[in-house]
Structure 1
Amino acid sequence: MNDMSLFDLLDRLSSLTRMWFRQHPLLADLQPVQLSALMYLARCNRYSNTPLGVTEYLGLTKGTVSQSLKILEAKGLITRTQDVRDKRSVHLQLTETASTLLTALLPPQFLVDGETGMGTRADSLKILLLELLKEIQRTNNVPSFGLCHSCHFHHCVNGMPFCMLTKEPLSIDDKMLICREHQQAENDVS
């Protein structure tokens, strides 16, 4: 096991995750792409909860994502609402059923158990994997989809979070959500 490459290790962990999801009884009628879309929508902000946001995050074709979103809507797992400012845009929200499902599933128990077994070394591993992710994104010009609070555009105005890109105030919860407009802050070395 010690001679496995980083690619081999990441691939094996991904395989175990997919296998766990396929075998979970709550996911019997969901395809992996549908689950991935739900997981993204659970973590993204109001600027990113669009069909285009899902498409860009998952790196799939518009057609694949469109069909998956239609199925999720038909199953009662997401709803679509028209954008108040731009009537051509729609926003996707998880239903209570989808939120309950994700709460029951995530994170997978095998991962929680593995992390617990590693003790404090798990924190070091997360830091290293985050550094790897940032390096890959930086050197390959891949959108970061990072958390709002680590964005170049995130500021505090009158003690409250504020997006300098959209010129809008943010809620406290918004700080911890994924944004498709995210640009890494210059001073972020985490």
Structure 2
Amino acid sequence: MDKSAAQFFELIDRLGNLVRVNLRGAGSQHSLQPVHLQALIYLSIANRYSNTPQALTEYLGLTKGTVSQSLMLLHRRGLIERQGDASDKRLVRLALTESGAQLLKAIQLLPEWTQAVTCIAPQRSKIALAVLKELLLALQLGAGNRSFGVCNTCQLNLHEGPRSYRCGLTGEKLSLPDTRMICREHQPRQKPRR
């Protein structure tokens, strides 16, 4: 294995372990597993094209059964709601309830991360974020997975004027908050060739 690739793998594996420990600790206070918190976090950032059980399954990279069981538990606890899609009766849409949103606010997932990031110079932090985003995208696309990127970074996001956006895939108008959410249909913008 390439030394640089091995170092990235080791560091990200260790960071991933810390994330899971953080999720386990935060969830245990509410009798929730990390997958339950990951589902709630996803639904808090997913747009209206991405709030389905299938999209959540793809995003988490888990089995349909695991996601289905997790969603049933979250629904029974009143943390999410399930609604039929108005235009396609086969689809189920998921959304956080007020209780689900309050739980996410209450569990404070990021204090240690916030503290750690403040120890890094802002410019170095920007560079690190850019490198990690580039690595994530390369791994996703290399494996044939969807990128689930933020709408305003998608080549299908059409900026029509001041604060006016439209989805080039669906033709639907997008609000400014819509453009800040992640989307299952995200298509990364092509980088200009150097």
Q: 1:150 aligns with which of 139, 148, 153?
A: 153
Between stretches 134-143 and 80-89, larger displacement belongs to 134-143
Asked if the contact 2:26/2:109 (under 8 Å) is kept, the reply is: no
1:177 corresponds in structure 2 to 181
Runs of 4+ in 1 over 4 A off after TM superposition: none
Gaps of 5+ in 1: none
1:51 corresponds in structure 2 to 53
Q: 1:94 aligns with which of 85, 89, 96?
A: 96
Residue aligned with 2:158, SS: strand
CA distance in 2, matches of 1:139, 1:13: 22
Aligned-pair Cα RMSD in Å: 2.0
Gaps of 5+ in 2: none
Asked if the contact 1:150/1:188 (under 8 Å) is kept, the reply is: no
TM-score by length of 1: 0.90
CA distance in 2, matches of 1:163, 1:98: 28
Between stretches 156-165 and 58-67, larger displacement belongs to 156-165
Q: Counterpart of 1:79 in structure 2: which amino acid? A: E
Residue aligned with 2:73, SS: helix
1:132 corresponds in structure 2 to 135
Q: Percent identity?
A: 43
TM-score by length of 2: 0.88
Asked if the contact 1:79/1:95 (under 8 Å) is kept, the reply is: yes
CA distance in 2, matches of 1:169, 1:138: 27
1:104 corresponds in structure 2 to 106
Residue aligned with 1:166, SS: coil
1:66 corresponds in structure 2 to 68
Residues 10-52 of structure 1 show CA distances to partners (whole Å, capped at 9, x for unaligned) of 1111111211222237744111111111111111000100111
Residue aligned with 2:119, SS: helix
Q: 1:166 and 1:188, CA in 2 relative to 1: closer, same or farther beyond 3 A? A: farther
Q: What is the number of residues matched between the two proteins?
A: 187
